[in-house]
Amino acid sequence: MKKKLKNIQDSIEEKIDVDETLAEFDTSSNIRNLKGLLGKVVTVIAIFMSIFHLYTAGFGTLLAMKQRTVHLLFVFILGFLLYPIRKRSNKTKVPFYDWIFTAGGVMVTSYIIFFYEDLVRRGGRLTDLDLFMGILAILLVLEVTRRSIGPELPIIAILAISYAFLGPYLPGALGHRGYNLVRIVNQLYMTTEGIFGTPLGVSATFVFMFILFGAFLEVTGVGQFFIDVAFAMAGHRKGGPAKAAVIASGFMGSISGSSIANTVTTGAFTIPLMKKVGYKPNFAGAVEAAASTGGQILPPVMGAAAFIMSEFTNIPYITIVVSAVIPALLYYLGVIIMVHLQASKQNLQGIPKEELPDFKKTFKMGFHLLLPLVGVVVFLIRYSPLRAALLSIIVALGVSLIRSHTRIKPIDLFIALEDGAKKAVSVAAACACAGIIVGIVTLTGLGLTFANLIISLAGGMLLPTLFLTMVASIILGMGLPTTAKYIVLATMAAPALVELGVPVIAAHLFILYFGVIADVTPPVALAAYAGAGIAGGDSFKTGIHALKLGSAGFIIPYIFAMSPALLLIDVTPVQAVVSTATACLGVVGFASGVQGYFLTFTKFHERAMFLLAALFLIHPNIMIDFIGLVLLVVPAVLQYSRYKSEKLQNDSMNIRE
C-alpha cells in the first residue's frame, strides 16, 4: 500500500525541502538546530516541560498563578534558546545575549514562584523590585513573542500599553482617565488579568496537553494512515489527488492546529501528485492551503483558539465541538465541490486504481489509530478537556502497541515529549502577549468602547455589524496567529454581536472562522504562500485560487450567525436537517457560481442565478429559502439540458470519426 504511493511520489523528479519551506513561511518553525551537549540540554528541558504538564494533568494542577508561571518559565527558556533574534541569524549556536535573555526569563518567573505568598500579602502595593521585575517580564514576553510568531502581536500589545498611558489625551469615546506605570505593571504582572491571564492559563493546561496529544499521534504513524486512506477513497476519481489532499489535510489539520505546517508537511506529498495528473502549480498549492486551513475549525481537536473560547464563554468544550461540526463539514464540502468542478472543467482524471492502496487493507491495518480520536470525543463528554487530553494520550500509547508496524519505541516516546513542548512555545508566547492586550482592555474598558463603536458605525443593524467584524477579523488574522487574533477580537468585537442578538457561541465562532480564513486571504495569505513554495507556483496567484476554494467559508459564518440552527442550538431535529440541507444547497450554488461551471460551463445569467441562490439560501426564512431554491433549480435544469445536448453532439462526432 505505502510502497505504491511511494513509488508514484519517487517518480516525480522534484525535490522538496519541507523544513526550509516551513521555516520560510511559518515563523514558529524557524528554530535553531542545536547539536552536541547544548542540543541535549534543550531536549531534556523540553522533555521535562512535557513531563511537568503530564504530571499536573494527572495529579492536579498547581494554583493558577503558579501553574501559569512555571509554564511561562519553560517558554522563556526554550523560546530564547531555540528562536534566534533575527530570522537569518546563525542557527547552530546560542549567542551570549540570548543567555542573558534566558536568565532574565528565569528570574522574573522564579520571583513569582518563590515569593508568591509575599506578593499576595502586599495586595498590589508594589516595591521597587516588584516594579523592575514587572517591567522586565513585559519586555521579555514581547521579545519572545516577536521571535516565535513575528512582530505584529507585540506591536499591538505596545499600542495597547500606550493607550493605557495616553487615555486623558485621546478624543471622544476613546478617552479615559489614564493609568500610571505602577498600576499598569501591577495589572499585567502581579495578577491573573494580564500576562498570567486566561489565555496563558488555557495554554498551560488544555492547549499544551492537546498539542502533546497531536505529537503522540504523529509518532504512531497516523499521518501516513490518513494519507493512505484518503488516496484509497478518492485518488482514482476525477481529479483524485486533489480530493485526496482535501480529505487527508482535513484529518491532519484537525489534530495539528497549524494551517501552514499542515500545508507544507501534507503538501510535500499531495501537491506533486496533483501536478502529475494535470493541475497547474498555482491551483495545486491552493488546494492544499485551503484544505489545511480548514483543519483549525474541524472537530474533534480544533485549534488552540477553541479551548480559549471555552474559557472565555464558559461553554463546555464538547458543546463547541458539537456546534462546530456542521459548519466545518460545509466548509470542506465547498472545497471538494470546487476541486471537482475544476477537474471537470479541465477533464482531469485520477490515479489508476491499481496504483493506489486498497481501502479495505489500508483501513484494516490502521483503523486502530483512529481510536484515540474517538476517545477524545467520548472523554470530553464525561471529563474536563485537561483530563480528556491525558486519557487520550494514554489511549494513543496503548493502541500503538496493538500492531507491530505502529508500535512506539522508547525513543519515539521521548521524541513526542520533545516535539510537543517545542510546538507549544509559540502558542504559549502568543497567549502571554495576548494577555497583555486583554489586561489593558479590562483595565481601560476598551472592549465595551470598541463594541459600541462597531454598533454605531453599523447603524445598530446586524448585517453591517457582521460585515465590519468580518473585516476586522481578516485584517488581524493576516498578521496574527489564529489564537492571538481570536483573543483580541473575542474581547473587543464579540460583545457587539452578542448585544445585537447573536448567540454567544455563534458570535465567537464567527470571529474564529474569519481569523482562520485569513490564512488564505491575500495580500497576506501565509498558508497559500507556503503551498506556492511547495508547488513552485506564483504566491499571489496561488493565494487568489486558495481564496476561491475557501470562499464557501465566507458565507457559512453568516448562515450560522443569522440561523443558529446550523450550530444545533435550541433546535428540533427537523429544523437542524432543513437548515443543513439549505446550507448545503447554498454551498453548491456558490461553488458553481464562483467556478463558472456546474454540468458544463455556465453562461452569465446562470452564474448570476447560482450566486444569488447562495445568498438567498443564507437567510433563515422559508419564503426566502424557496426563492433561493428556485434560483438554484432554474440554471441547474438549463445546464442539464445543454449538457445532454453537448454529450449527444460529442457522441455523434466520435461515431463519424
188 within domain boundaries: yes
Mean pLDDT across the stretch 189-217?
Answer: 91
Radius of gyration of the chain (CA): 25
Mean pLDDT across the stretch 415-424?
Answer: 93
Task: Spell out the residues 6+ positions from residue 98 whose beta carbon is closer than 8 angstroms to its own.
Answer: 80, 81, 84, 85
The total number of structural domains in the chain stands at 2
355 within domain boundaries: no
Q: How far apart are CA 189 and CA 51, in angstroms?
A: 26
125 within domain boundaries: yes
Which cell numbers in the block locate residue 437? Answer: 492586550
Q: How far apart are CA 315 and CA 319, in angstroms?
A: 7
Single out the residue of 515, 580, 581 nearest to residue 553, CA to CA: 515
Residue for grid cell 460545509: 330
Exposure on the CB side of residue 504, measured as CA atoms within 13 A: 11
pLDDT in tens, 276-301: 888 888 988 999 888 888 888 888 87
Question: Could you tell me what percent of the chain has a pLDDT over 90?
Answer: 33
Residue 86 has pLDDT above 50, yes or no: yes
**Which phi and psi angles does 402 have, rounded to 5°?**
-65, -40
The separation between CA 35 and the C-alpha centre of its own chain, rounded to angstroms, equals 31
- Decide which of 393 and 621 is more confident: 393
Q: Which of 173, 194, 215 is the last residue of a domain?
A: 194
189 within domain boundaries: yes
CA distances from 23 to 16, 20, 122, 601 (A): 13, 5, 45, 40
Q: Which of 178, 194, 210 is the last residue of a domain?
A: 194
Q: Which of 93-107, 287-301, 406-420, 587-601 has the highest mean pLDDT?
A: 93-107
Q: Give the pLDDT confidence score for residue 390 in this predicted structure.
A: 93
Q: How far apart are CA 387 and CA 275, in angstroms?
A: 43
3-state secondary structure 305-324: HHHHHHHHHCCCHHHHHHHH
Question: Coil, helix or strand for 601?
Answer: strand
The separation between CA 101 and the C-alpha centre of its own chain, rounded to angstroms, equals 30
pLDDT in tens, 341-396: 988 888 888 888 888 888 888 888 888 888 888 888 889 888 888 999 999 999 99
pLDDT in tens, 67-83: 999 999 999 999 999 99
Task: Spell out the residues 6+ positions from residue 399 whose beta carbon is closer than 8 angstroms to its own.
Answer: 220, 368, 369, 371, 372, 406
Mean pLDDT across the stretch 329-340?
Answer: 91
* Structure confidence at residue 409 as a pLDDT band (50, 70, 90): confident
220 within domain boundaries: no
Host domain of residue 119: 15-194
Q: Give the pLDDT confidence score for residue 472 in this predicted structure.
A: 84
Burial pattern 424-459, b for ≥16 Cβ within 10 A else e, equals bbbbbbbbbbbbbbbbbbbbbebbebbbebbbeebe
- Residue type for position 630: V
Q: How far apart are CA 278 and CA 346, in angstroms?
A: 8
In 3-state terms, the chain is what percent helix, strand and coil (to 5)? 80, 0, 20
Least confident of 25-34, 105-114, 144-153, 222-231: 25-34
Mean pLDDT across the stretch 449-477?
Answer: 85
Q: Give the pLDDT confidence score for residue 2 in this predicted structure.
A: 52
45 within domain boundaries: yes
pTM of the model: 0.86
Q: Give the pLDDT confidence score for residue 11 in this predicted structure.
A: 44
* Structure confidence at residue 12 as a pLDDT band (50, 70, 90): very low
555 within domain boundaries: no
Q: Which of 138-142, 509-513, 610-614 has the highest mean pLDDT?
A: 138-142
Q: Which of 194, 223, 244 is the last residue of a domain?
A: 194
Across the chain, mean pLDDT equals 86
The answer to whether residues 557 and 510 touch, using CB atoms and an 8 Å cutoff, is yes
Peptide bond into 410 cis (omega under 30): no
Peptide bond into 523 cis (omega under 30): yes
Burial pattern 149-188, b for ≥16 Cβ within 10 A else e, equals bbebbbebbeebbebbeebeeeeeeeebeebeeeebbbbb
599 within domain boundaries: yes
